[in-house]
Amino acid sequence: MESHIKVFFFILGLLVFVSISEIQSVEAAGECGRSTTPDNEAMKLIPCASAAQDENASVSQSCCAQVQKIGKNPSCLCAVVLSNMAKMSGVNPKIAITIPKRCNLDNRPIGYKCGPYTLP
């Protein structure tokens, strides 16, 4: 029951934040390109919510598929992990940064520096 409540608040927080960020959106190229922001990309990682908070949680195939897409641009993946949306959703960057390895992604950017964290 407690995990359902956490997921509910995670999704609610994401929706509120996206609504606010869309209002304040600026047209500039960022880490994730011109057409999106790290906070918007974080919305795509909802299937990773529990895996980004608990290193013992299993990582779903849908999570791994999204991480693989976003991970093609390591600076975007890093920006998503460190984004305001991720922080508001309770993501632990130290744990979230391990998801590409936990997904067994062959082409993950091993050793990429993401703020104070390094991708394993």
Question: Residue-wise pLDDT tens for the chain (120 aa)?
Answer: 566 566 555 564 545 455 555 544 444 578 999 899 999 999 999 999 999 999 999 999 999 999 999 999 999 999 999 999 999 999 999 999 999 999 999 989 999 999 999 999
Cα–Cα distances (Å) from 73 to 20, 33, 54, in that order, read 25, 10, 24
pTM over 0.85: no
Instruction: Give the relative orientation of helices 61-70 and 74-81 as an angle to the nearest 10 degrees.
Output: 120
